[in-house]
Structure 1
């Protein structure tokens, strides 16, 4: 990040516009926790001119009145709309991330959007869908530290016209035990301060690799869908999932499948046809998991060839 004015001043005045994948985001906040989080974790992103048309204009603000001083809180605003109740002040930066997820998943219907992490290698996308607690973000964080490119930690965007996965690389959200697992395994990574006592427990964010941010314009062809499940002291297990079952699971995890109607059905059908799907149980051996996924990609490429 660089610009003619200090970034904190641009954020405070609502003039900071950054490019995140296919989106331009205007960020406005005078809260130091938000400004510091943007400075530290979004330093690799391109700054756009202040008068750029924005897909989303988001603000993190403090409520007026005594709440500004007593039991401080923070509000998330999308344009002039405040869709959430206020959260404790200490959660301001995670609130920015959660709120931006809500904006993208609720208003970007040119894509089919699935609640899934997604990474890339050889131009092929590995989609990791999962409910909270499945270990998808932990596995995603490990893979991008093992040579995979981050496309997204939370939202898999499938272009309805091409069927390709469109990257929207942002900081990787880690929770509870996953924080220490990833921090201990990959100590050179940069993390935001841990925030405790959220609805998700303790949370922090891992800075995305600069290479993933720089290549955010490069889409990937969906190839594998792996439903991960972390299970301590278990042996690594990979089980094929029939396409019909994979379709139903992905539809359940999609934010806008129903909203898109027939177009959602067609896009999901194309996605499932292009991918092999598996259930995957792992115990934290990230190198073994990465090697297995690379082998799966090689196998798929050989069958296609």
Structure 2
């Protein structure tokens, strides 16, 4: 049984699993995150990835995700145990940290200024996020989750592997410094894999950033580059739709999101290639 405590900023996670694929996933993507066994730290998430029960251990084997002993969603095929850990972590962060506002979106930073790219399905967010991290040298705060601390108005880094699917896998494979893990086929998201977070981003995970740009990217094959500045009101409405816990946070979450918009410019970006997406971000984020 693999049993380790991981510091995945800003959280401490206890992970237990008998699946060799889960152990390899941790050693591949979180090699410096494993804490000494005698560490006495507060555990934010107590996670188990376990085999299915009864016949499901041998007939069409399954993997189950448990948080604090409870099973929040249905099992998946055992071959998907490692990505199940990543999907389960997303669920944990979206559901648990009541003191922070959590939204679906990628966050990268440069010189303390953060670029937020809210994530709509099929928009190409993860591919553009990877290209900014590996080609342009932006610091990755998170590929999936925008975490805003209402107490200081800053974005909290949560660096983890970049989730890639389908056509984006071949694109990111060619990026300099990109290290991809195993490919998983026939998942609920299609064919997926993960790209390791750049080491420099992991090393700087204690450095928060202030939002400066909010960009809603949309990839369209062969499309000419289009950049349109939009109002903060429109952007606020769109990003509110991507909030996981805004309603539960109530007034403090609403106020924190309003305050974040005091410092940002907002754009929609349509692009038809990686080079086009990067050029669009350069134009938007150049002072």
Q: TM-score range by the shorter chain?
A: over 0.9
Corresponding position of 1:113: 102
Match of 1:175 among 165, 171, 174: 165
Match of 2:146 among 120, 142, 156: 156
Corresponding position of 2:75: 86
Q: Residue 115 of structure 2 aligns to a residue in which SS?
A: strand
Corresponding position of 1:226: 215
1:203 aligns with 2:192: yes
Q: Residue 131 of structure 1 aligns to a residue in which SS?
A: coil
1:217 aligns with 2:202: no
| Conserved 8 A contact 1:45-1:213 | no
Q: For 1:132 and 1:239, locate their aligned partners in 2 and report how far apart those are by CA, in whole Å.
A: 20
Corresponding position of 2:20: 32
Matches within 5 A, 1:1-305: 12-14=1-3, 16-45=4-33, 47-48=35-36, 49-145=38-134, 146-183=136-173, 185-186=174-175, 188-286=177-275, 288-299=276-287
**What displacement does 1:73 show?**
0.6
Q: Which moved more, 1:104-113 or 1:186-195?
A: 186-195
Q: For 2:117 and 2:95, locate their aligned partners in 1 and report how far apart those are by CA, in whole Å.
A: 20
**What displacement does 1:13 show?**
4.8
**What displacement does 1:291 show?**
4.6
Pair 32,46 (structure 1): closer, same or farther in 2 beyond 3 Å: closer
Q: For 2:128 and 2:96, locate their aligned partners in 1 and report how far apart those are by CA, in whole Å.
A: 27
| Conserved 8 A contact 1:113-1:257 | yes
**What displacement does 1:215 show?**
0.5
Q: Residue 255 of structure 1 aligns to a residue in which SS?
A: coil
| Conserved 8 A contact 1:222-1:274 | yes
Q: For 1:114 and 1:64, locate their aligned partners in 2 and report how far apart those are by CA, in whole Å.
A: 34
Q: For 1:101 and 1:220, locate their aligned partners in 2 and report how far apart those are by CA, in whole Å.
A: 21
1:157-193 Cα shifts (integer Å, max 9, x gaps): 011111111000000000111111111x316421111
Q: Residue 23 of structure 2 aligns to a residue in which SS?
A: helix
Q: For 2:175 and 2:122, locate their aligned partners in 1 and report how far apart those are by CA, in whole Å.
A: 21
Q: For 1:282 and 1:291, locate their aligned partners in 2 and report how far apart those are by CA, in whole Å.
A: 9
Q: For 1:176 and 1:167, locate their aligned partners in 2 and report how far apart those are by CA, in whole Å.
A: 26
Q: For 1:85 and 1:224, locate their aligned partners in 2 and report how far apart those are by CA, in whole Å.
A: 37
Q: For 2:86 and 2:113, locate their aligned partners in 1 and report how far apart those are by CA, in whole Å.
A: 26
Q: Residue 246 of structure 1 aligns to a residue in which SS?
A: helix
Unaligned runs of 5+ in 1: 1-11, 300-305
Unaligned runs of 5+ in 2: none
Q: For 2:280 and 2:124, locate their aligned partners in 1 and report how far apart those are by CA, in whole Å.
A: 17
Q: Which moved more, 1:48-57 or 1:168-177?
A: 48-57
Q: For 2:277 and 2:218, locate their aligned partners in 1 and report how far apart those are by CA, in whole Å.
A: 12
Q: Residue 217 of structure 1 aligns to a residue in which SS?
A: coil
Paired residues, what number? Answer: 285
1:190-231 Cα shifts (integer Å, max 9, x gaps): 111111111111111111011101100000010000000001
| Conserved 8 A contact 2:11-2:44 | yes
